[in-house]
Structure 1
Protein backbone atom coordinates (compact mmCIF):
# COMPACT_ATOMS: atom_id res chain seq x y z
CA UNK A 1 0.00 0.00 0.00
CA UNK A 2 1.49 3.27 -1.03
CA UNK A 3 1.18 6.24 1.30
CA UNK A 4 -1.54 8.59 0.08
CA UNK A 5 -3.22 5.89 -2.00
CA UNK A 6 -6.95 6.67 -1.72
CA UNK A 7 -7.77 2.96 -1.85
CA UNK A 8 -5.34 1.70 0.77
CA UNK A 9 -8.25 0.51 2.92
CA UNK A 10 -9.71 -1.59 0.13
CA UNK A 11 -10.06 -5.24 1.07
CA UNK A 12 -9.04 -4.54 4.68
CA UNK A 13 -10.58 -7.15 6.95
CA UNK A 14 -12.42 -6.03 10.07
CA UNK A 15 -14.80 -7.19 12.79
CA UNK A 16 -18.17 -5.69 13.69
CA UNK A 17 -18.62 -5.49 17.46
CA UNK A 18 -21.04 -3.93 19.95
CA UNK A 19 -20.13 -0.36 20.82
CA UNK A 20 -20.44 -1.16 24.51
CA UNK A 21 -20.57 -4.20 26.78
CA UNK A 22 -21.70 -3.95 30.39
CA UNK A 23 -21.51 -6.63 33.08
CA UNK A 24 -24.24 -5.80 35.58
CA UNK A 25 -23.99 -6.66 39.25
CA UNK A 26 -25.63 -5.12 42.32
CA UNK A 27 -24.50 -2.19 44.44
CA UNK A 28 -25.61 -4.10 47.55
CA UNK A 29 -25.46 -7.82 48.38
CA UNK A 30 -28.64 -9.86 48.55
CA UNK A 31 -30.76 -12.68 47.18
CA UNK A 32 -32.14 -12.29 43.66
CA UNK A 33 -35.92 -12.05 43.79
CA UNK A 34 -36.98 -11.45 40.18
CA UNK A 35 -34.96 -11.97 37.01
CA UNK A 36 -37.17 -12.61 34.00
CA UNK A 37 -34.84 -11.51 31.19
CA UNK A 38 -33.29 -14.11 28.92
CA UNK A 39 -30.44 -13.97 26.42
CA UNK A 40 -31.63 -12.05 23.36
CA UNK A 41 -34.13 -9.87 25.21
CA UNK A 42 -33.82 -6.12 24.66
CA UNK A 43 -33.91 -3.47 27.38
CA UNK A 44 -34.16 0.30 27.38
CA UNK A 45 -32.02 2.64 29.42
CA UNK A 46 -33.60 2.89 32.86
CA UNK A 47 -35.55 -0.34 32.37
CA UNK A 48 -35.68 -2.95 35.13
CA UNK A 49 -33.12 -5.75 34.88
CA UNK A 50 -33.59 -7.64 38.14
CA UNK A 51 -34.44 -7.06 41.79
CA UNK A 52 -33.26 -8.36 45.14
CA UNK A 53 -35.47 -9.42 48.01
CA UNK A 54 -36.50 -6.23 49.75
CA UNK A 55 -39.09 -7.08 52.41
CA UNK A 56 -37.11 -5.48 55.23
CA UNK A 57 -36.35 -2.37 53.17
CA UNK A 58 -39.99 -2.02 52.07
CA UNK A 59 -41.10 -2.23 55.71
CA UNK A 60 -38.57 0.46 56.64
CA UNK A 61 -40.07 2.75 54.01
CA UNK A 62 -43.58 2.22 55.38
CA UNK A 63 -42.42 2.88 58.94
CA UNK A 64 -40.67 6.06 57.80
CA UNK A 65 -43.89 7.23 56.10
CA UNK A 66 -45.82 6.72 59.34
CA UNK A 67 -43.23 8.76 61.25
CA UNK A 68 -43.48 11.55 58.67
CA UNK A 69 -47.27 11.72 59.01
CA UNK A 70 -47.06 11.69 62.80
CA UNK A 71 -44.39 14.42 62.86
CA UNK A 72 -46.43 16.49 60.41
CA UNK A 73 -49.56 16.30 62.58
CA UNK A 74 -47.54 17.21 65.65
CA UNK A 75 -46.02 20.19 63.89
CA UNK A 76 -49.42 21.42 62.68
CA UNK A 77 -50.99 21.08 66.14
CA UNK A 78 -48.11 22.86 67.82
CA UNK A 79 -48.11 25.60 65.22
CA UNK A 80 -51.67 26.40 66.27
CA UNK A 81 -50.65 26.30 69.92
CA UNK A 82 -47.80 28.70 69.18
CA UNK A 83 -50.23 31.15 67.57
CA UNK A 84 -52.23 31.05 70.81
CA UNK A 85 -49.04 31.62 72.83
CA UNK A 86 -49.34 28.21 74.49
CA UNK A 87 -45.81 27.09 73.56
CA UNK A 88 -42.54 28.91 72.98
CA UNK A 89 -40.85 29.47 69.62
CA UNK A 90 -38.12 27.07 70.77
CA UNK A 91 -40.67 24.30 71.30
CA UNK A 92 -42.24 25.00 67.92
CA UNK A 93 -38.79 24.80 66.26
CA UNK A 94 -38.23 21.41 67.88
CA UNK A 95 -41.37 19.99 66.28
CA UNK A 96 -40.48 21.48 62.89
CA UNK A 97 -37.03 19.92 63.19
CA UNK A 98 -38.57 16.54 64.05
CA UNK A 99 -40.68 16.78 60.90
CA UNK A 100 -37.69 17.65 58.70
CA UNK A 101 -35.69 14.78 60.21
CA UNK A 102 -38.57 12.39 59.52
CA UNK A 103 -38.60 13.50 55.87
CA UNK A 104 -34.85 12.88 55.60
CA UNK A 105 -35.23 9.42 57.14
CA UNK A 106 -37.97 8.60 54.63
CA UNK A 107 -35.78 9.67 51.72
CA UNK A 108 -32.91 7.56 53.05
CA UNK A 109 -35.17 4.51 53.47
CA UNK A 110 -36.49 4.92 49.91
CA UNK A 111 -32.98 5.18 48.47
CA UNK A 112 -31.86 2.06 50.35
CA UNK A 113 -34.93 0.25 48.98
CA UNK A 114 -34.27 1.49 45.43
CA UNK A 115 -30.74 0.05 45.52
CA UNK A 116 -32.36 -3.39 45.41
CA UNK A 117 -33.97 -2.63 42.06
CA UNK A 118 -31.28 -2.82 39.38
CA UNK A 119 -31.91 -0.94 36.13
CA UNK A 120 -30.08 -0.70 32.82
CA UNK A 121 -27.62 2.11 32.14
CA UNK A 122 -27.88 1.62 28.35
CA UNK A 123 -30.19 0.58 25.55
CA UNK A 124 -29.05 -2.95 24.91
CA UNK A 125 -29.62 -6.64 24.45
CA UNK A 126 -28.96 -9.40 26.98
CA UNK A 127 -25.93 -11.38 25.78
CA UNK A 128 -25.33 -13.51 28.88
CA UNK A 129 -27.03 -14.47 32.12
CA UNK A 130 -24.92 -15.82 34.96
CA UNK A 131 -27.37 -16.21 37.86
CA UNK A 132 -30.98 -17.15 38.62
CA UNK A 133 -33.63 -16.09 41.16
CA UNK A 134 -32.85 -17.40 44.63
CA UNK A 135 -29.09 -17.07 44.22
CA UNK A 136 -27.05 -14.76 46.42
CA UNK A 137 -25.26 -11.92 44.65
CA UNK A 138 -22.43 -9.92 46.15
CA UNK A 139 -20.12 -8.46 43.52
CA UNK A 140 -20.19 -11.03 40.70
CA UNK A 141 -22.02 -10.07 37.47
CA UNK A 142 -25.62 -11.24 37.15
CA UNK A 143 -26.21 -10.45 33.48
CA UNK A 144 -24.26 -8.95 30.60
CA UNK A 145 -25.59 -6.33 28.18
CA UNK A 146 -24.39 -5.08 24.82
CA UNK A 147 -25.35 -1.98 22.87
CA UNK A 148 -25.92 -3.05 19.26
CA UNK A 149 -27.80 0.08 18.17
CA UNK A 150 -24.36 1.56 17.61
CA UNK A 151 -21.68 -0.82 16.39
CA UNK A 152 -17.94 -0.33 16.30
CA UNK A 153 -15.41 -1.44 13.71
CA UNK A 154 -11.70 -1.47 14.46
CA UNK A 155 -8.96 -1.65 11.84
CA UNK A 156 -5.22 -2.07 12.23
CA UNK A 157 -3.31 -0.05 9.63
CA UNK A 158 0.37 0.30 8.67
CA UNK A 159 2.08 3.35 10.12
CA UNK A 160 2.86 4.65 6.60
CA UNK A 161 -0.79 5.65 6.29
CA UNK A 162 -0.77 7.67 9.53
CA UNK A 163 -1.92 11.24 8.93
CA UNK A 164 -3.74 10.46 5.69
CA UNK A 165 -7.06 9.71 7.41
CA UNK A 166 -9.20 12.36 9.06
CA UNK A 167 -11.53 11.83 11.97
CA UNK A 168 -15.19 11.74 10.85
CA UNK A 169 -14.16 10.36 7.46
CA UNK A 170 -16.58 7.76 6.15
CA UNK A 171 -15.76 4.10 5.68
CA UNK A 172 -17.82 1.75 3.56
CA UNK A 173 -18.40 -1.46 5.49
CA UNK A 174 -19.19 -4.74 3.74
CA UNK A 175 -20.46 -7.34 6.25
CA UNK A 176 -19.90 -10.98 5.42
CA UNK A 177 -22.73 -13.26 4.27
CA UNK A 178 -25.55 -13.68 4.96
CA UNK A 179 -25.89 -9.96 5.76
CA UNK A 180 -24.08 -8.62 2.69
CA UNK A 181 -24.76 -5.12 1.36
CA UNK A 182 -22.75 -1.99 2.18
CA UNK A 183 -23.08 0.44 5.08
CA UNK A 184 -21.45 3.73 6.00
CA UNK A 185 -19.48 4.11 9.23
CA UNK A 186 -17.90 7.30 10.54
CA UNK A 187 -14.35 7.20 11.91
CA UNK A 188 -14.61 8.09 15.59
CA UNK A 189 -11.08 7.41 16.84
CA UNK A 190 -7.56 7.46 15.41
CA UNK A 191 -4.99 6.01 17.78
CA UNK A 192 -2.20 8.60 18.17
CA UNK A 193 0.30 5.93 19.23
CA UNK A 194 2.13 3.72 16.75
CA UNK A 195 2.87 0.18 17.90
CA UNK A 196 6.63 0.01 17.37
CA UNK A 197 6.80 -3.79 17.31
CA UNK A 198 4.29 -4.22 14.48
CA UNK A 199 4.55 -0.80 12.83
CA UNK A 200 0.77 -0.36 12.98
CA UNK A 201 -1.90 1.79 14.61
CA UNK A 202 -5.64 1.46 15.14
CA UNK A 203 -8.67 3.36 13.92
CA UNK A 204 -12.25 2.88 15.08
CA UNK A 205 -15.47 3.64 13.23
CA UNK A 206 -19.06 3.90 14.46
CA UNK A 207 -21.90 2.29 12.52
CA UNK A 208 -25.54 3.13 13.28
CA UNK A 209 -27.67 0.01 13.58
CA UNK A 210 -30.96 1.25 15.04
CA UNK A 211 -32.99 -1.31 13.11
CA UNK A 212 -30.69 -4.15 14.29
CA UNK A 213 -30.23 -5.45 10.75
CA UNK A 214 -26.54 -6.11 11.34
CA UNK A 215 -25.60 -8.65 14.01
CA UNK A 216 -22.53 -7.96 16.11
CA UNK A 217 -19.66 -10.41 16.06
CA UNK A 218 -19.40 -10.94 12.30
CA UNK A 219 -16.46 -10.27 10.02
CA UNK A 220 -16.44 -7.50 7.46
CA UNK A 221 -14.31 -5.66 4.95
CA UNK A 222 -13.77 -1.91 4.89
CA UNK A 223 -12.97 0.63 2.20
CA UNK A 224 -12.41 4.37 2.36
Structure 2
Protein backbone atom coordinates (compact mmCIF):
# COMPACT_ATOMS: atom_id res chain seq x y z
CA UNK A 1 0.00 0.00 0.00
CA UNK A 2 1.42 3.38 -0.94
CA UNK A 3 1.79 5.99 1.75
CA UNK A 4 -0.54 8.96 1.57
CA UNK A 5 2.11 11.27 3.10
CA UNK A 6 3.75 13.46 0.43
CA UNK A 7 7.47 12.95 -0.14
CA UNK A 8 8.12 16.66 0.54
CA UNK A 9 6.64 16.28 4.02
CA UNK A 10 8.82 13.26 4.75
CA UNK A 11 11.96 15.18 3.81
CA UNK A 12 10.95 18.22 5.84
CA UNK A 13 10.06 16.15 8.90
CA UNK A 14 13.34 14.23 8.66
CA UNK A 15 15.34 17.45 8.51
CA UNK A 16 13.54 18.80 11.55
CA UNK A 17 14.10 15.64 13.54
CA UNK A 18 17.84 15.97 13.90
CA UNK A 19 20.79 17.84 12.46
CA UNK A 20 23.79 16.33 14.26
CA UNK A 21 27.28 17.79 14.07
CA UNK A 22 30.65 16.13 14.39
CA UNK A 23 32.28 16.47 17.81
CA UNK A 24 35.12 15.13 19.91
CA UNK A 25 34.91 13.83 23.48
CA UNK A 26 37.91 14.88 25.57
CA UNK A 27 38.94 14.65 29.23
CA UNK A 28 37.66 17.46 31.40
CA UNK A 29 41.27 18.28 32.28
CA UNK A 30 44.72 16.73 32.12
CA UNK A 31 47.66 17.49 34.40
CA UNK A 32 51.29 16.44 34.54
CA UNK A 33 52.30 15.59 38.10
CA UNK A 34 55.70 17.05 38.97
CA UNK A 35 57.47 17.69 42.23
CA UNK A 36 58.01 21.27 43.38
CA UNK A 37 61.32 20.15 44.93
CA UNK A 38 64.07 17.90 43.66
CA UNK A 39 64.55 14.52 45.28
CA UNK A 40 64.88 10.79 44.78
CA UNK A 41 61.55 9.03 44.29
CA UNK A 42 60.94 6.55 47.10
CA UNK A 43 57.48 5.25 46.14
CA UNK A 44 55.05 5.52 43.24
CA UNK A 45 51.74 4.15 44.45
CA UNK A 46 49.87 3.96 41.12
CA UNK A 47 50.22 2.39 37.69
CA UNK A 48 48.96 3.37 34.27
CA UNK A 49 45.18 2.95 34.09
CA UNK A 50 44.60 3.15 37.86
CA UNK A 51 41.70 5.23 39.11
CA UNK A 52 42.61 7.75 41.79
CA UNK A 53 40.68 9.90 44.22
CA UNK A 54 41.27 13.55 45.08
CA UNK A 55 43.87 13.81 47.85
CA UNK A 56 45.19 10.28 47.34
CA UNK A 57 48.97 9.94 47.81
CA UNK A 58 50.52 9.22 44.41
CA UNK A 59 54.25 9.72 44.91
CA UNK A 60 56.55 9.82 47.96
CA UNK A 61 60.04 11.31 47.73
CA UNK A 62 62.84 10.37 50.11
CA UNK A 63 62.27 12.53 53.20
CA UNK A 64 64.30 11.18 56.14
CA UNK A 65 65.94 14.56 56.82
CA UNK A 66 62.64 16.43 56.60
CA UNK A 67 60.96 13.92 58.91
CA UNK A 68 63.71 14.39 61.52
CA UNK A 69 63.35 18.16 61.25
CA UNK A 70 59.60 17.86 61.89
CA UNK A 71 60.16 15.71 64.97
CA UNK A 72 62.77 18.11 66.37
CA UNK A 73 60.63 21.17 65.77
CA UNK A 74 57.61 19.49 67.40
CA UNK A 75 59.66 18.78 70.55
CA UNK A 76 60.63 22.45 70.72
CA UNK A 77 57.08 23.59 70.06
CA UNK A 78 55.64 21.32 72.76
CA UNK A 79 58.33 22.17 75.34
CA UNK A 80 56.87 24.00 78.37
CA UNK A 81 59.93 24.18 80.65
CA UNK A 82 61.22 27.68 79.90
CA UNK A 83 57.75 29.20 79.77
CA UNK A 84 56.73 27.61 83.08
CA UNK A 85 60.00 28.69 84.72
CA UNK A 86 59.51 32.29 83.66
CA UNK A 87 55.91 32.24 84.90
CA UNK A 88 56.95 30.85 88.31
CA UNK A 89 59.67 33.44 88.78
CA UNK A 90 57.26 36.21 87.85
CA UNK A 91 54.68 34.94 90.35
CA UNK A 92 57.36 35.00 93.07
CA UNK A 93 58.37 38.55 92.05
CA UNK A 94 54.73 39.68 92.40
CA UNK A 95 54.52 38.31 95.92
CA UNK A 96 57.91 39.80 96.83
CA UNK A 97 56.83 43.22 95.57
CA UNK A 98 53.61 43.06 97.61
CA UNK A 99 55.59 42.25 100.76
CA UNK A 100 58.09 45.00 100.09
CA UNK A 101 55.26 47.48 99.53
CA UNK A 102 53.64 46.50 102.85
CA UNK A 103 56.95 46.74 104.72
CA UNK A 104 57.75 50.05 103.07
CA UNK A 105 54.35 51.41 104.15
CA UNK A 106 55.20 50.38 107.73
CA UNK A 107 58.65 51.97 107.45
CA UNK A 108 60.40 48.61 107.92
CA UNK A 109 62.28 48.78 104.59
CA UNK A 110 63.51 51.65 102.51
CA UNK A 111 61.86 52.95 99.37
CA UNK A 112 64.90 51.74 97.45
CA UNK A 113 64.21 48.12 98.43
CA UNK A 114 60.67 48.39 97.19
CA UNK A 115 61.90 49.95 93.89
CA UNK A 116 64.38 47.13 93.43
CA UNK A 117 61.59 44.57 93.87
CA UNK A 118 59.46 46.41 91.32
CA UNK A 119 62.36 46.52 88.82
CA UNK A 120 62.92 42.80 89.31
CA UNK A 121 59.25 42.14 88.54
CA UNK A 122 59.44 44.15 85.31
CA UNK A 123 62.54 42.24 84.21
CA UNK A 124 60.78 38.93 84.83
CA UNK A 125 57.69 40.15 82.92
CA UNK A 126 59.95 40.84 79.95
CA UNK A 127 61.50 37.37 80.27
CA UNK A 128 58.03 35.82 80.28
CA UNK A 129 57.09 37.73 77.13
CA UNK A 130 60.31 36.53 75.50
CA UNK A 131 59.52 32.93 76.50
CA UNK A 132 56.05 33.22 74.98
CA UNK A 133 57.48 34.69 71.77
CA UNK A 134 59.98 31.84 71.57
CA UNK A 135 57.11 29.41 72.05
CA UNK A 136 55.14 30.99 69.20
CA UNK A 137 58.22 30.94 66.99
CA UNK A 138 58.78 27.26 67.77
CA UNK A 139 55.18 26.51 66.76
CA UNK A 140 55.68 28.36 63.46
CA UNK A 141 58.97 26.53 62.90
CA UNK A 142 57.13 23.23 63.39
CA UNK A 143 54.52 24.23 60.84
CA UNK A 144 57.23 25.27 58.39
CA UNK A 145 59.04 21.95 58.83
CA UNK A 146 55.76 20.10 58.25
CA UNK A 147 55.12 22.15 55.10
CA UNK A 148 58.56 21.21 53.77
CA UNK A 149 57.80 17.56 54.46
CA UNK A 150 54.40 17.82 52.76
CA UNK A 151 56.07 19.08 49.57
CA UNK A 152 57.72 15.68 49.25
CA UNK A 153 54.35 13.92 49.12
CA UNK A 154 52.43 14.34 45.85
CA UNK A 155 48.66 13.91 45.95
CA UNK A 156 46.01 13.70 43.27
CA UNK A 157 44.30 17.06 42.61
CA UNK A 158 41.05 15.42 41.49
CA UNK A 159 39.23 12.14 40.93
CA UNK A 160 40.62 10.70 37.72
CA UNK A 161 42.69 8.10 35.89
CA UNK A 162 46.45 7.66 35.54
CA UNK A 163 47.13 8.21 31.85
CA UNK A 164 50.86 7.45 31.99
CA UNK A 165 53.74 6.86 34.40
CA UNK A 166 57.13 8.20 33.31
CA UNK A 167 59.35 7.84 36.42
CA UNK A 168 59.89 5.05 38.94
CA UNK A 169 61.37 4.63 42.44
CA UNK A 170 65.05 5.52 42.37
CA UNK A 171 64.64 8.12 39.62
CA UNK A 172 65.38 11.77 40.31
CA UNK A 173 62.31 13.97 40.39
CA UNK A 174 63.28 17.40 39.08
CA UNK A 175 61.28 20.57 39.62
CA UNK A 176 60.27 22.90 36.82
CA UNK A 177 57.83 22.74 33.91
CA UNK A 178 60.57 21.77 31.46
CA UNK A 179 61.45 18.64 33.40
CA UNK A 180 60.05 15.17 32.87
CA UNK A 181 56.80 14.64 34.80
CA UNK A 182 56.32 11.69 37.10
CA UNK A 183 52.71 10.96 36.14
CA UNK A 184 49.99 12.18 33.81
CA UNK A 185 46.44 12.31 35.15
CA UNK A 186 43.15 12.91 33.37
CA UNK A 187 39.77 13.78 34.80
CA UNK A 188 37.00 11.88 33.02
CA UNK A 189 34.07 12.73 35.29
CA UNK A 190 32.62 14.84 33.69
CA UNK A 191 33.86 14.97 30.07
CA UNK A 192 34.32 17.88 27.66
CA UNK A 193 32.68 17.75 24.25
CA UNK A 194 34.18 20.02 21.59
CA UNK A 195 32.14 20.83 18.47
CA UNK A 196 32.67 23.20 15.55
CA UNK A 197 29.56 24.91 14.16
CA UNK A 198 28.96 26.94 10.99
CA UNK A 199 28.36 30.67 11.00
CA UNK A 200 24.63 30.11 10.46
CA UNK A 201 24.36 28.66 13.98
CA UNK A 202 25.69 31.82 15.66
CA UNK A 203 23.25 33.33 18.16
CA UNK A 204 21.04 30.26 18.30
CA UNK A 205 22.76 28.67 21.31
CA UNK A 206 23.17 29.90 24.87
CA UNK A 207 25.07 28.56 27.89
CA UNK A 208 23.24 25.87 29.88
CA UNK A 209 21.19 24.74 26.88
CA UNK A 210 20.83 20.97 26.52
CA UNK A 211 22.15 18.75 23.74
CA UNK A 212 22.41 15.03 23.00
CA UNK A 213 25.76 13.37 22.35
CA UNK A 214 26.18 10.00 20.62
CA UNK A 215 29.72 8.56 20.99
CA UNK A 216 31.11 6.89 17.89
CA UNK A 217 31.15 3.09 18.05
CA UNK A 218 29.57 2.84 21.51
CA UNK A 219 25.92 3.39 20.81
CA UNK A 220 23.53 5.07 23.15
CA UNK A 221 23.03 8.77 23.74
CA UNK A 222 24.11 11.03 26.56
CA UNK A 223 22.83 14.38 27.78
CA UNK A 224 25.23 17.32 27.70
CA UNK A 225 25.07 21.02 28.54
CA UNK A 226 26.52 23.97 26.64
CA UNK A 227 29.25 25.64 28.72
CA UNK A 228 31.34 27.79 26.38
CA UNK A 229 30.50 29.53 23.10
CA UNK A 230 33.48 31.06 21.34
CA UNK A 231 33.22 34.74 20.42
CA UNK A 232 36.04 34.61 17.88
CA UNK A 233 35.41 32.91 14.53
CA UNK A 234 37.76 30.93 12.31
CA UNK A 235 38.06 33.14 9.23
CA UNK A 236 39.13 30.43 6.79
CA UNK A 237 36.24 28.06 7.47
CA UNK A 238 33.60 30.47 8.79
CA UNK A 239 33.08 28.42 11.94
CA UNK A 240 33.15 28.86 15.70
CA UNK A 241 33.69 26.47 18.58
CA UNK A 242 31.30 25.33 21.28
CA UNK A 243 32.23 23.37 24.39
CA UNK A 244 29.76 21.15 26.24
CA UNK A 245 30.00 19.32 29.52
CA UNK A 246 28.78 15.73 29.64
CA UNK A 247 28.26 13.86 32.93
CA UNK A 248 30.15 10.57 33.01
CA UNK A 249 29.34 8.78 36.25
CA UNK A 250 31.70 5.89 36.80
CA UNK A 251 33.77 6.86 33.75
CA UNK A 252 31.65 4.67 31.49
CA UNK A 253 32.39 6.72 28.36
CA UNK A 254 36.07 6.89 27.36
CA UNK A 255 37.69 10.16 26.34
CA UNK A 256 39.42 10.77 23.02
CA UNK A 257 36.68 9.44 20.72
CA UNK A 258 34.61 11.11 18.03
CA UNK A 259 30.91 11.68 18.44
CA UNK A 260 27.82 13.37 17.00
CA UNK A 261 25.92 16.03 18.86
CA UNK A 262 22.33 17.13 18.29
CA UNK A 263 21.16 20.59 19.36
CA UNK A 264 17.36 20.97 19.43
CA UNK A 265 17.80 24.69 18.66
CA UNK A 266 19.68 23.88 15.44
CA UNK A 267 17.38 21.24 13.99
CA UNK A 268 15.89 23.75 11.54
CA UNK A 269 19.35 24.96 10.54
CA UNK A 270 19.98 24.50 6.82
CA UNK A 271 23.65 24.48 5.90
CA UNK A 272 24.86 25.16 2.35
CA UNK A 273 25.26 22.09 0.17
CA UNK A 274 28.95 22.86 -0.27
CA UNK A 275 29.57 23.13 3.46
CA UNK A 276 31.52 20.28 5.00
CA UNK A 277 31.57 20.12 8.74
CA UNK A 278 35.21 20.28 9.85
CA UNK A 279 36.68 17.76 12.23
CA UNK A 280 36.29 18.70 15.88
CA UNK A 281 39.18 20.75 17.19
Structure 2 CA distance, aligned partners of 1:8 and 1:54?
A: 62
Per the alignment, residue 3 of structure 1 pairs with none
Alignment of 1:21-100 (within 5 A): 21-70=30-79, 72-85=80-93, 88-100=124-136
How far 1:11 sits from its partner (Å)? 3.3
Structure 1 CA distance, aligned partners of 2:78 and 2:194?
A: 59
Higher helix share: 2
Of 240, 257, 261, the match for 1:218: 257
Higher strand share: 1
Residue 163 (str. 1) matches residue 203 (str. 2): yes
Matched-pair contact (CA < 8 Å) for 1:31–1:133: yes
Q: Cα RMSD (Å) of the superposition?
A: 1.7
Structure 2 CA distance, aligned partners of 1:115 and 1:9?
A: 52
* TM superposition outliers: structure 1 runs of 4+ over 3 Å: 6-9
Consecutive unaligned residues of structure 2, counting only runs of 5 or more, are: 1-14, 94-119, 264-281
In the alignment of these two chains, the number of paired residues is 217
Consecutive unaligned residues of structure 1, counting only runs of 5 or more, are: 1-5
Structure 1 CA distance, aligned partners of 2:146 and 2:132?
A: 21
TM-score normalised to the size of structure 2?
Answer: 0.74
Residue 103 (str. 1) matches residue 139 (str. 2): yes
SS in 1 for 2:37: coil
Whichever of the two has the greater Rg, that structure is 2
Structure 1 CA distance, aligned partners of 2:163 and 2:17?
A: 35
TM-score normalised to the size of structure 1?
Answer: 0.92
Structure 1 CA distance, aligned partners of 2:197 and 2:16?
A: 13
